[in-house]
Structure 1
Amino acid sequence: MHRRRRTALAFSAAILAAAPLLTACGSDAHPGAAAVVGGQRITVGQLESRVNEVRTAQRAATKDDAQYEQAIAKTGSLTRDTLHSLVLDRVLDRAAKDAGVTVSRKDTQQMRAGLEQQAGGAKELETAWLQQYGVAPQRLDDSLRTEIQAQKLAAALGADMNTEAGKASFWKAMSEASKKLNVDLNPRYGTWDVEKSSRVDAKTPWLREVTAAAQQTA
């Protein structure tokens, strides 16, 4: 997720490079939707389902209630971060399509095999992705596909993600895709910065997540 530590993977690096600016506004024109991207809704129910997948996986991976509470505390913005990822994945899909980029199942399998070897096994990789990026085990292949898609997009653009110029080129393509998709967030989850293809928190304290409020009063 975009607030986690940097990795060598292109998309993780790209997300971390996106410093949000308040340039876009959400609306309440789509009741029941957490976001509308390219005219397609990401419903609140879909968002909550994804969040529940992560919480269930976190519960299964922890030994007791105290450890589970620590995991929740570390991912207090999980709902907003998950929505950010869901929207950004669609923006990336559009940018990749515009650049003629495709990702095969074999690409994903090869990346997963290599990462499993580095991590020490399939279970270890799933645990690492859950802890570092808030990705549930059943969504790991989707997450890896996104990483590959971003790498291929950067390559198609001739963008070296280790340079400022390369990052700028990558995010220009993402910004153009964001504009084409007309991303619209439910104000409950903030706004969408078209230029940076990034979700921005709303300046409304009463919309903070319960977990964040609990941390402040603990």
Structure 2
Amino acid sequence: MGLGGGFHSHSTSASESSGAIVNRSRLPRLAAVVAVVALGLVGCSSPTPGAAAVIGDTRIAETALTQQVQAVLKAQGKPLDTPDSALASQTLDRMVKSQLVSILAAQAGVEITQGEIDAQMIEYDAQAGSRSEVERIFLEQGIAPSQIAGIIVLNLQANELGMLLAPNGDPQMQGNAVVKAMTVLSDLLDTEVSPRYGTWDASTLQVGPAPDDLSAPQAE
């Protein structure tokens, strides 16, 4: 599905997720996931000092965003205080999507093992020819080497959710089902992004750009 960027491998298609076993008994429970989450969290989101984004009762701190952005800048060999509004928005976009998928996955009982993560990393290495090449490809997309495992988890979670939401669908249908669930959940939880980093569009699941003088996180 490739929600977080990087490779689109055979083992991470929505229909075949790195040996993950789909428990069909979870299907009825997953059907009510968005509604259950919404009942507990809807209305909790509000602008919070020091928050880059708020998803229901979950807060993504500006310091957390800054750390993620600085990890990329460091891997790119750039000064940690380099202004990069596009990177800040892109990174926050990924963090918000990861949180939405994590909420859905937790409610559905989807768990990703270290073995699955390792297997996917090995497949990436084989596809690219080396770990350094894998890291280079991800870094070109604004993802630091230390963040690759998180991207793998995000995609594996999305793949399992796709199989649960659309068990008889092809990978495209399963991907669409996950995006729809994320969109509904984001809207119900009143997801908000600090104007400093852009604006969150629940209909497209994207953080829009912010003015260059406002969006770059401050160096810690």
| Contact kept? 1:2, 1:81, Cα under 8 Å | no
SS of residue matched to 1:188: coil
Q: Distance in 1 between matches of 2:135 and 2:7?
A: 18
| Contact kept? 1:96, 1:149, Cα under 8 Å | yes
In the other structure, the counterpart of 2:52 is: 34
Q: With the length of structure 1 as denominator, give the TM-score of the two structures.
A: 0.69
From 121, 127, 150, the equivalent of 2:136 is 127
In the other structure, the counterpart of 1:213 is: none
Deviations 1:18-74 (A, max 9, x none): xxxxxxxxx983111111123222122211111111011011xxxxxxxx69xx99x
From 152, 155, 158, the equivalent of 1:144 is 152
In the other structure, the counterpart of 1:193 is: 201
In the other structure, the counterpart of 1:51 is: 69
Deviation at 1:110, TM superposition (A): 0.7
From 177, 182, 189, the equivalent of 1:174 is 182
AA at the equivalent of 1:57? A
Distance 1:28 1:190, change over 3 A: farther
Does structure 1 residue 116 correspond to structure 2 residue 125?
A: yes
In the other structure, the counterpart of 1:77 is: 86
Instruction: Choose 181-190 or 135-144, whichever is displaced more.
Output: 181-190
| Contact kept? 2:197, 2:215, Cα under 8 Å | no
Distance 1:78 1:92, change over 3 A: same
SS of residue matched to 2:110: coil
Which ranges in structure 1 are unaligned for 5 or more consecutive residues?
A: 12-26, 60-67, 211-218
| Contact kept? 2:110, 2:161, Cα under 8 Å | yes
Higher helix share: 1
Tell me how large the CA RMSD over aligned residues is: 3.3
SS of residue matched to 1:182: coil
SS of residue matched to 2:59: strand
SS of residue matched to 1:107: helix
Distance 1:206 1:103, change over 3 A: same
Which ranges in structure 2 are unaligned for 5 or more consecutive residues?
A: 15-44
Distance 1:88 1:125, change over 3 A: same
In the other structure, the counterpart of 1:156 is: 164
AA at the equivalent of 1:93? S
Distance 1:128 1:100, change over 3 A: same
| Contact kept? 1:101, 1:153, Cα under 8 Å | yes
Deviations 1:175-209 (A, max 9, x none): 2321343312111122222233222335x686466
Q: Distance in 2 between matches of 1:101 and 1:32?
A: 31
| Contact kept? 2:5, 2:151, Cα under 8 Å | no
- Count, aligned residues: 180
Distance 1:5 1:104, change over 3 A: closer
Q: With the length of structure 2 as denominator, give the TM-score of the two structures.
A: 0.68
| Contact kept? 1:33, 1:186, Cα under 8 Å | yes
From 70, 76, 95, the equivalent of 2:104 is 95
